[in-house]
Amino acid sequence: PQALPEPFRIKMVEPLALPSRDTRETALRASHYNMFQLKSRDVYLDLLTDSGTGAMSKAQWAALMNGDESYAGADSFYTLKKTLQELLGFDHFLPMHQGRAAEHVVFSSLAREGDLIPMNMPFDTTRAHIFQARAQPLSCVVEEAYQPEVDAPFKGNVDLSKLEAALAQHPHSRRIPLVMVTVTNNSGGGQPVSLENLRACARLTRARGIPLFLDAARMAENAYFIQQREASCRNLTCAQILRRMMDCADAITVSCKKDPLVNIGGLVAMRTEALYYQLAPRTILHEGYLSYGGLAGRDLEALAIGLREMVDEEYLAHRVSQVRYLGDLLTEAGVPILRPVGGHAVFIDAGAFLPHIPQRCYPADVLSVELYREGAIRGVGLGALAFEDTDPVTGRKKLPRLELFRLAIPRRAYTNHHMAYVAKCVAAVHQRRASIRHGLKLVQDSPVPGLSHFVARLEPT
């Protein structure tokens, strides 16, 4: 396996240290075996998330000084507005403090009790916000998304017959206020959605007058995969492909902490003034005035630059090759990972890695604990603890179909050598997997549905 060399050099250094074995054991107990409760100083390589953890460029740091901190109508707002018009083609937008704020504003403004929200797959906070609106998400992703070992180019695609069947309910038995497609599909392994599939979703939703939203947190990585894998797009730049993806959507929600390369920020962008004004009241109530939405003017400046940097071809080629490099090293070591490797993370099939630990004992989270123990590396379990469903009618618990352990790679922050260290540690855990006897049990849960993994206290069984 090989990765492209880093297309940047390091200007400022953040020292890291490997904590001792004793420190790690103490930290595990103190965190109640929950990676979200670890102190970052006790972590060597932090692959908990690729969200807000990337490195800004020198152009972004320089732009902070241009921040206009006016309450209303700041220059920084108009700089960002122009960028979004030029890059994505949306005439209207609302800044938000991060992606889940965009989800809150969208779902609390547009969804009502009993509504259905068809998606490819919802990520954790998206799902929790749909529940908060007393609506129900419906996964319409293609079947291959649930088959980690099946190598297919666009495992984030929407199954159009599932979507069509869902849409047929509107407005008779269930109201559908919007359809949302996540690019790339985080819950299903950072897998891309093809341009052809996005266009087909747009045709279906437009025919019924239902708005199509994209959750576009990882839109640039999705565009890169389209360039590499969709024959009709081979000769287009990632920026051109991105624009074609956006042309399918009526609106987008974005966690700008991912592809747009900032440490904090989010937005909703839309085509019509009508939608803008539907979302404006809750933005003012919960985020801030319409021209800053919970961010500082300097944040808006850094974001305007990050949005342009995210479609740089060399940056994207390295980014995706670094993640794939880690995945290929793991495959070479015999570790069962979700194939093909996604855009922002390597997802280990924890069910296949620890087949002797039942899913209700949280194998993905057991793997988190063991990898931290092995090499002070922090990943995140995305399995039963994060995604268990309660049937709205029977109240019965339903385990999710995927039990994944995610190693998310922050952007421009770690080197290819770090990836080799991660692979070595995962391989060491894999070697001793049969001796991992204990599962985990939940001793304290979240009172709010969908948030267990963030706050749970766990104990070895």
Contact positions toward ligand F0G, by CB under 6 A?
49, 51, 98-100, 123, 125-126, 182, 186, 215, 217, 255, 257, 266, 408
Give the relative orientation of helices 75-88 and 238-247 as an angle to the nearest 10 degrees: 90
Q: Catalytic one among 215, 250, 259, 328?
A: 215
Cα–Cα distance between 186 and 145 in angstroms, integer?
Answer: 11
Q: Catalytic one among 124, 299, 328, 365?
A: 124
71 is catalytic: yes
Nearer to ligand F0G, 189 or 439 (CB): 189
215 is catalytic: yes
Provide, rounded to whole angstroms, the least separation between the CB of residue 168 and ligand F0G: 27
Q: How many CB atoms lie within 10 A of CB 170?
A: 18
Q: What token pair was written down for 248?
A: 């399918």
223 is catalytic: no
Q: Annotate 182-194 with DSSP letters as a single string.
A: ESSBTTTTSB---
Nearer to ligand F0G, 378 or 430 (CB): 378
Q: Catalytic one among 93, 107, 453, 456?
A: 453
Provide, rounded to whole angstroms, the least separation between the CB of residue 252 and ligand F0G: 11
Provide, rounded to whole angstroms, the least separation between the CB of residue 344 and ligand F0G: 8
Segments in 287-349 forming alpha helices (H): 297-309, 313-332
Cα–Cα distance between 71 and 272 in angstroms, integer?
Answer: 24
CB closest to ligand F0G, residue no = 99
Q: Return the SS3 of 324.
A: helix
Task: Classify residue 118 by its DSSP letter.
Answer: E
276 is catalytic: no
Integer angstrom CA distances of residue 96 from 66, 70, 103, 451: 19, 16, 10, 21
Cα–Cα distance between 107 and 213 in angstroms, integer?
Answer: 11
Provide, rounded to whole angstroms, the least separation between the CB of residue 207 and ligand F0G: 26
ω into 340 cis (within 30 of 0): yes
Q: What burial letters (b/e) apply to 343-360, b meaning 16+ CB within 10 Å?
A: bbbbbbbbbebbeebebb
- Tell me the β-bridge partners of 267: 95, 254
* C-alpha angle 254-256-257 in degrees, rounded to nearest 5: 130
Nearer to ligand F0G, 316 or 408 (CB): 408
Nearer to ligand F0G, 376 or 404 (CB): 404
> What is the rounded radius of gyration, in angstroms, for the C-alpha atoms of the chain?
21
Specify burial of residue 323 (Cβ count, 10 A radius: 0-12, 13-18, 19+): buried
Cα–Cα distance between 159 and 144 in angstroms, integer?
Answer: 10
Provide, rounded to whole angstroms, the least separation between the CB of residue 320 and ligand F0G: 17
Q: Catalytic one among 30, 59, 71, 397?
A: 71
Nearer to ligand F0G, 179 or 217 (CB): 217
**Dihedral sign computed on CA atoms, order 203, 208, 211, 217:** negative
Nearer to ligand F0G, 148 or 294 (CB): 294
Cα–Cα distance between 182 and 188 in angstroms, integer?
Answer: 10
Nearer to ligand F0G, 343 or 439 (CB): 343
Provide, rounded to whole angstroms, the least separation between the CB of residue 212 and ligand F0G: 16
**Dihedral sign computed on CA atoms, order 342, 344, 345, 346:** positive
427 is catalytic: no
Provide, rounded to whole angstroms, the least separation between the CB of residue 345 and ligand F0G: 8
33 is catalytic: no
Confirm if 120 and 182 have CB atoms less than 8 A apart: yes
Q: Catalytic one among 77, 123, 213, 325?
A: 123
Q: Catalytic one among 104, 129, 257, 258?
A: 258
347 Cβ neighbours under 8 A, 6+ residues apart: 148, 189, 190, 337, 338, 382, 404, 405, 406, 407
Nearer to ligand F0G, 215 or 230 (CB): 215
Confirm if 344 and 190 have CB atoms less than 8 A apart: yes
Provide, rounded to whole angstroms, the least separation between the CB of residue 189 and ligand F0G: 12
Provide, rounded to whole angstroms, the least separation between the CB of residue 365 and ligand F0G: 15
Nearer to ligand F0G, 256 or 357 (CB): 256
Q: Catalytic one among 55, 128, 145, 217?
A: 217
End-to-end CA gap in the chain: 38
372 is catalytic: no
Enzyme catalytic residues: 71, 123-124, 215, 217, 258, 453
